[in-house]
Amino acid sequence: MGPFLETLIGGLMTGMLYSLVALGFVLIFKASGVFNFAQGAMVLFAALTMARFAQWIPQWTGLSDKLLVNLLAFGVAMIVMIGVAWLIERLVLGKLVNQEGITLLMATLGITYFLDGFGQTLFGSDIYKIDVGLPKDPIFLFEQTFQGGVLINQEDLAAAAIAAALVALLAAFFQYTSTGRALRAVADDHQAAQSIGIPLSRIWVIVWSVAGFVALVAGIIWGSKLGVQFSLSLVALKALPVVILGGLTSVPGAIVGGLIIGVGEKLSEVFIGPYFGGGIEIWFAYVLALVFLLVRPQGLFGEKIIDRV
Amino acid sequence: MLYRENGQFKTSYTADQQIFPILQDRIAMALLLAVAFVAVPLLGSEYMFRAIFIPFLILSLAALGLNILVGYCGQISLGTGAFMAVGAYAAYNFQVRIEGMPVLLSLLLGGVCATAVGVVFGIPSLRIKGLYLAVATLAAQFFVDWAFLRIKWFTNDSASGSVSVADLNVFGLPIETPVAKYLFCLSFLMVFGLLAKNLVRSHIGREWMAIRDMDVAAAVIGIRPVHAKLSAFAVSSFIVGVAGALWGFVYLGSWEPAAFSIDRSFQLLFMVIIGGLGSIMGSFFGAAFIVLLPILLDQLLPALGSLVGLTFDTAVVSHVVFMIFGALIVFFLIAEPHGLARLWAVAKEKLRLWPFPH
């Protein structure tokens, strides 16, 4: 029972991080219909900015209070991400309005290459640590219930709490602010939203900034767990099966899809993997998404707008 | 003035249906082939063959295959690298396991195996399309990567999936020197280019384009979507598979699954889109652009840097190349969403009217 639960919880933690990346993905897809491959690159870029400024600020100003430094670095990273969002809207998406989906997809791939290269040129390509003071020590749970108990990282628990808070914050933002209402209107129908006076280009900047914020949070959690490195950028590819599973336009879908993929991946690796020679984590998510597409193309929570052939 | 079809009358059906209806095009094509087959082998240096010509030829073959699927039939694929890998490893197995197997035959059989895998992963296209299909083909990419890494039988029990071939020869002629390799790839490309050009002009090509433009209308006029889509997947994967086998056998010599990673798939998709969707010519333009750009940037950057008194280390150069590459792709998509082939078509139109503006 113990190992099974530990795998399950490990999977939930990984899945939650997939969810965070997928969330940024869904936000952008809903508001602008862009399949944003650059989400992973944005995670990497945001995390790099945060990690480097957290290092640089004490050197420049002599501040030593860790919380203050981290907050400042977070602020700088957020401003940088808003700048990135504004530039992407201005220089790329604004010029590609009304192009086909595949052209937009390729454009975001171009952005991916650019951000990866730019981030590493600017901030260097070593592995950096982000230390926001998450508790590190593992704890044992359920020791009384059964033999051995379950080993859990406190860091993972903190990360889960942060992610949950983020989702709640986003939900509140979308539901109760006027900007959020405008965002939902644009997501529903571009033309109708524009005709009642919602400025599309500004909405897109906001959406990309929100996606940048989500990327930053995801980057911090991953970064403090594994270090900030290039492989963060590849997480974006795992977000694709997640959004397919959950439905491309559904925020809860991204969360549930991420958790399912994370858990499924870990459980299958541990319990089915040995029969296939191991390493099936690499493709499990994609094959699961493939099977899902054949049975339920709109995903778990998606709207049924997909064209059946 | 020089380039126009005025006065070139067609008096037979064959003349009406030739690939290059304008005399000047035929002359240009003959010249191009002469340059490629005679002048380049005489003049090119070994570095140029290794770094530019051979990769260009093989990747344009792969781009040609992908263009049939994406450009002509409208099915997006992110799994091209996987089909290349299947071609390469299947050809390797035929070569190693069967005594005295001719290289040519193993390359083609590699293509046949890629066809089979391509058709299997093409089946989802019958129910889904567009970006959803792209995600479905990603499954092919990761599954195949894993299979060649983990299933030892495919790689003849070698560690980490790395294999190598040596002593290539075709009809008794050794393919060892860069020039021989170049000519070998060029012949392949020429034959497949001609085949592809004729295929897309035939009824099958028209079926593909009908499906791409509007599948429901195509089905109404009696085109079988299943047949059209799967045949596009089959033809495309065959060409891509042969290109993959060539990439392994001729260009790399020894390779591992990482040679056909997801990056390769993206690279090929870039070629097809920058070159021009639905254009045979575009595949070549795109391949040339994507192959040459990083090499040019690699050469230019340190030179430019030393001009202003900066020296970059290699890591920084590679990041900057990455960055400029991404920016240029975005720039190209904005400046000419229909690709380089469209620029070519516009240039030809202008040339017909030259020196008059209208």
Percent of chain A, pLDDT > 90?
11
Picking from A32, A106, A112 by the largest number of B CB atoms within 10 A of its own CB, the best residue to mutate is A106
Of A237-246, A296-305, B85-94, the poorest mean pLDDT is in: A296-305
ipTM above 0.90, yes or no: no
Averaged pLDDT of chain B: 88
Parallel, antiparallel, or unpaired: how do β-strands B163-164 and B254-255 relate?
antiparallel
A49 in a structural domain: yes
Q: Is B127 on the interface with A (CB under 8 A)?
A: yes
Alpha helices per DSSP H over B53-202: 54-67, 80-97, 103-122, 131-150, 178-201
How many domains does chain A contain in total?
1
Cβ–Cβ below 8 Å for A110 and B126: no
Residue B341 structure tokens: 């082939």
Check pLDDT > 60 for residue A309.
Answer: no
Say if CB B233 and CB B75 are below 8 A apart. yes
A166 in a structural domain: yes
Cβ–Cβ below 8 Å for A106 and B329: yes
* Cα gap A127→A108, rounded to integer Å: 25
- Residue predicted with more confidence, A246 or B63: B63
The rounded radius of gyration (Å) of the Cα atoms in chain A is 20
A305 in a structural domain: no
Q: Which residue has the tokens 């991916």?
A: A112
- Residue predicted with more confidence, B207 or B4: B207
Reported residue count of chain A is 309
Residue A2 structure tokens: 């113990």
Cβ–Cβ below 8 Å for A96 and B322: no
Check pLDDT > 70 for residue A147.
Answer: no
A22 in a structural domain: yes
Q: Is A229 on the interface with B (CB under 8 A)?
A: no
- DSSP character at residue A21: H
Nearest to A240 among B138, B316, B337 (CB): B138
A106 in a structural domain: yes
pLDDT of residue A143: 62
Which residues, in sequence order, are CB contacts of B88 under 8 Å at separation 6+?
Answer: B110, B244, B245, B247, B248, B249, B255, B259, B260
Q: Which residues of A are less than 8 Å from B149 in CB distance? A: 279
* Cα gap A107→A33, rounded to integer Å: 13
* Neighbouring-strand partners of residue A128: A228
Query: Under CATH, which architecture does the B46-353 domain have?
Result: Orthogonal Bundle (1.10)
Nearest residue of B to residue A118 by CA position? B323
Whole domain around residue A16: which residue ranges? 2-295
Residue A26 sits in a domain of what CATH number? 1.10.3470
Please tell me whether the overall predicted TM-score, pTM, comes out greater than 0.90 for this model.
no
pLDDT of residue B63: 96
Q: What CA–CA distances, in Å, run from B339 to B60, B62, B263, B270, B334? A: 15, 17, 21, 10, 10
Q: Which residue has the tokens 């599973």?
A: A245
Cβ–Cβ below 8 Å for A107 and B128: no
Say if CB A302 and CB A249 are below 8 A apart. yes
Q: What CA–CA distances, in Å, run from B179 to B37, B106, B250? A: 10, 22, 11
Picking from B153, B329, B331, B342 by the largest number of A CB atoms within 10 A of its own CB, the best residue to mutate is B329
Check pLDDT > 90 for residue A5.
Answer: no
* CB-based burial label for A93 (10 Å; 0-12, 13-18, 19+): buried
Percentages helix, strand, coil for chain A (3-state, rounded to 5) are 75, 5, 20
Please write the tens of the pLDDT for every residue from A149-177: 667 777 778 888 888 888 888 888 888 99
A157 in a structural domain: yes
